[in-house]
Amino acid sequence: MRPYADNDYPANHKPDWKIIAGLWPYLAEYRGRVILAVSMLIMAKVAIVTTPIALKYIVDYLDQNRGADMVLWIPLMLVLAYGALRFGSTLFNIVPTLLEIAMVAGILLVAFNVSYVLAILVSVVVFVVFSIRVTEWRTAFVREANNRDNQSNSRAIDSLLNYETVKYFNNERFEAEQYDEDLDLWEQARLKNRTSMAVLNIGQAFIIGSSMVAIMAMAVREVASGQMTLGDFTMVNAYLIQLFIPLNALGFVYREIRQSLVNVERLFGLLGDKPAIEDAADAKALAITKGDVQFHDVRFSYHQERAILKGVNITIPAGHTIAVVGASGAGKSTLARLLFRFFDVNSGSITIDGQDIRNITQDSLRSAIGVVPQDTVLFNDTLYSNLAYGRPGASEAEIHHAVRQANLDGFIRSLPDGYSTRVGERGLKLSGGEKQRVAIARVLLKNPPLLILDEATSSLDSISEQAILDALNEVTQQRTTLVIAHRLSTVRDADTILVMDEGQIVESGGHNELLAKDGYYARLWLQQQHSDDETSAEN
C-alpha cells in the first residue's frame, strides 16, 4: 500500500504513442470535426502542390512569347489560377506536410528526373532525423527545468508557511541561501534548455540552406545546358521554398508537441495516481443500528519494515466511551486514522455494527464519525466560516449553541471583530486551546453518531478543560466514543481504559480496576499524580 501518493515525476517515462493513445478518448468526442478538418487539409494540400505548376506555365508563356504579340488573357488567367491555389493552401501540420512532400516528389519525378526527388528526400530525411534526435536530447533539459521550477517554488512556499520556525532558529539566511541554490539550479537548467534550442535552430537552418543551394545549383546547370526552361527553374524554386518553410515549421511543431507531451505525461501521471483508499465496487452505505465498534486482531504498518499495530482487539459497545492511554508513539492516533479509514488495515478488520468498514462507502463512514484531531488546523478564513465547516448549511443559532457548548462564547465576545475575526494561515492567530475549542465546536455541529477525541483538551488549562469535559460528557453519553489522552485524570470516568504500549493493548479495565492491578497504568497514574503535586506545590 502507499500511505501517501507522491507527486514526483514518474521515474520511467511512457512512450509517446501511449501518451497520445491516452488522449484519444478525449478527442473521440469530436470525431466529426476531426474528419472534417482532415478532409479540408487534404484539399488544401492538393492546392498547395499544384501552385508551382501554374507559376511554371506563367513564366514559360511569358518567356516564349516575349516581344511577339502575346495574348494577354492566357497569362492573366494563369495568374488568377495561381492566386486561387495559393488562397486554397493556408494552415499546416505534421501529417499533411508529409503528404505534401510525397505529392511534390511525385510531381518532380514526372516533370524532371529522379535526382531532384532524391536530393529533396535526402534533405528532408536529414532534416527530420536531425530534428528528432536533437529534440529527444533536449527533452531531458525541458523536464529538468520543469522539475527545478517546481522544486524552487515548493521550497519558497514551505519556508514562507513555516516562517515562525525559520525565525525561532534565526535561519532566514539559511533559507535564503537554500532558495538561492535552488534558483541557481533552475537557471542552469533553463540555460541548457535555451542553448540546446539554439543548437536545434542553427542546425535546422544549416540543413535547409545547404540543401537549397545544392538543388538550385543542379537546376542552374540544367537551364544553362537547355535541359530546363526558365519556367521549370521557377517551379523547382517554388517547390523548394514551399517545402522548406513548412518543414522548418514542422520542426517547431514537433518541438511543441514534445514539450506538450512532457506536460500531458505529467497530467496523466497525476490523473493516474490512485487514491490509497478506494470504495469497493459493491460498497454499501453504512447502516448504523446501535453504533457498535470493534477492532479484530488489527495489524498495521505505515512502512513494511516497521509494524505499528501488532494485533489489537478493541470492543466499544454502542453508546460507550473507551479511553486509550499510553506512551507517545504507541499507535493511539493510528487507531483513530484506521477507524476513519485514512488507511486500510494490513490484516484483521474493523467493524461498525458488524459491517466491515472496507465494504462500506467512505462517504457514509466519514459522515458518521466526528474527529477532534490531535493537531487542529484551520482555514485562513473567518472564525465563523471555520466553525460552519462542521456542517455547511447549519443555522446561526446552531453554530452559537455549539460555540457555547465548547466554551468558546466568552472568547468570541472578547474579540473586536467577533465571529468575523480572520484566523490566519492554518489558524495561527488563535492559541492552541482556542483552536482545540473551535475543533470541538464544529464536531458538535456535525453531530455524528460516533466520536473520536484525540487529545482533544490537551492544550487547555485545567479549568477550561473541566468545563469542556463536562460539555463533552453530555455529548458522549449517547454516543460510541473513542477518547485518546495523555492526562489520565481526563479519562478516569471512561467505561473502559485501554493501555497501549508499542502497538499492543497491555492492560484494560476501569480506573480503579487498573490501579488495583498495580501495573503499567498504576505506575503512569502515580507518576502523573506526583508531577501534579509538584506543580501545585510550586504554585
Applying CB under 6 A, which residues contact ligand ATP?
Answer: 3, 302, 308, 328-334, 374
The entry of Mg ion, ligand ATP, none near residue 399 (CB within 5 to 8 angstroms by kind) is: none
Least Å from the CB of residue 267 to ligand ATP: 27
Q: Which is nearer to ligand ATP, 56 or 341 (by Cβ)?
A: 341
The entry of ligand ATP, Mg ion, none near residue 331 (CB within 5 to 8 angstroms by kind) is: ligand ATP
| Range 231-265 burial, b when 16+ CB lie within 10 A, else e | bbbbbbbbbbebbbebbbebbeebbeebbebbebb
Distance CA 336, CA 483 (A): 9
Q: Which is nearer to Mg ion, 93 or 528 (by Cβ)?
A: 528
Give me the sheet containing 309-316, strands edge to edge. Answer: 309-316, 293-300, 347-352, 355-356
**Is residue 318 a contact partner of residue 480, using CB atoms and an 8 Å limit?**
yes
**Is residue 370 a contact partner of residue 340, using CB atoms and an 8 Å limit?**
no
Least Å from the CB of residue 459 to ligand ATP: 13
Q: Which of residues 137-166 bind Mg ion (CB under 5 A)?
A: none
- For the chain, the 3-state helix, strand and coil shares in percent, each to the nearest 5, are 60, 10, 25
Q: Which is nearer to ligand ATP, 329 or 432 (by Cβ)?
A: 329
Cell numbers describing residue 477: 453519553
Q: Give every CB contact of residue 389 below 8 A, 6+ residues apart in sequence.
A: 379, 442
Distance CA 12, CA 26 (A): 24
Least Å from the CB of residue 1 to ligand ATP: 11
Least Å from the CB of residue 291 to ligand ATP: 23
Q: Which is nearer to ligand ATP, 9 or 302 (by Cβ)?
A: 302
Distance CA 28, CA 24 (A): 6
Please tell me whether residue 333 binds Mg ion under the rule CB under 5 A. yes
Q: How far is CA 339 from CA 342, 368, 452, in A?
A: 8, 11, 9
Stretch that binds Mg ion, among 277-285, 374-382, 468-476, 492-500 (CB under 5 A): 374-382
The entry of ligand ATP, Mg ion, none near residue 334 (CB within 5 to 8 angstroms by kind) is: ligand ATP
Q: Which is nearer to ligand ATP, 302 or 389 (by Cβ)?
A: 302
Of 476, 479, 516, give the one whose Cα is nearest residue 493: 476
Stretch that binds Mg ion, among 28-36, 241-249, 259-267, 370-378 (CB under 5 A): 370-378
Distance CA 472, CA 440 (A): 9
Relative to beta strand 504-509, strand 496-501 is antiparallel
Q: Which is nearer to ligand ATP, 262 or 336 (by Cβ)?
A: 336
Least Å from the CB of residue 331 to ligand ATP: 4
Q: Give every CB contact of residue 343 below 8 A, 6+ residues apart in sequence.
A: 1, 3, 276, 277, 300, 302, 337
Q: Which is nearer to ligand ATP, 251 or 331 (by Cβ)?
A: 331
Least Å from the CB of residue 294 to ligand ATP: 19
Stretch that binds Mg ion, among 205-213, 285-293, 326-334, 337-345 (CB under 5 A): 326-334
Of 199, 224, 214, give the one whose Cα is nearest residue 244: 214
**Is residue 282 a contact partner of residue 361, using CB atoms and an 8 Å limit?**
no
Q: How far is CA 62 from CA 68, 82, 231, in A?
A: 10, 15, 9
Least Å from the CB of residue 418 to Mg ion: 33
Q: Which is nearer to Mg ion, 94 or 377 (by Cβ)?
A: 377
Least Å from the CB of residue 483 to Mg ion: 12
Least Å from the CB of residue 330 to Mg ion: 9
Least Å from the CB of residue 455 to Mg ion: 6
**Is residue 280 a contact partner of residue 444, using CB atoms and an 8 Å limit?**
no
The entry of ligand ATP, Mg ion, none near residue 308 (CB within 5 to 8 angstroms by kind) is: ligand ATP
Q: Which is nearer to ligand ATP, 4 or 73 (by Cβ)?
A: 4
SS3 (DSSP) at 458: coil
Stretch that binds Mg ion, among 40-48, 245-253, 327-335, 493-501 (CB under 5 A): 327-335
The entry of Mg ion, ligand ATP, none near residue 328 (CB within 5 to 8 angstroms by kind) is: ligand ATP
Distance CA 104, CA 110 (A): 10
Phi-psi region of 389 (alpha: psi -120 to 50; beta: other; left: phi over 0): alpha
The entry of Mg ion, ligand ATP, none near residue 45 (CB within 5 to 8 angstroms by kind) is: none
Q: Which residue is nearest to Mg ion (CB)?
A: 333
Q: Which is nearer to ligand ATP, 330 or 468 (by Cβ)?
A: 330
Q: Which is nearer to ligand ATP, 120 or 298 (by Cβ)?
A: 298
Greatest alpha-carbon pair distance for the chain in Å reads 129
Least Å from the CB of residue 372 to Mg ion: 12
Interface with Mg ion by CB under 5 A: which residues? Answer: 333, 374
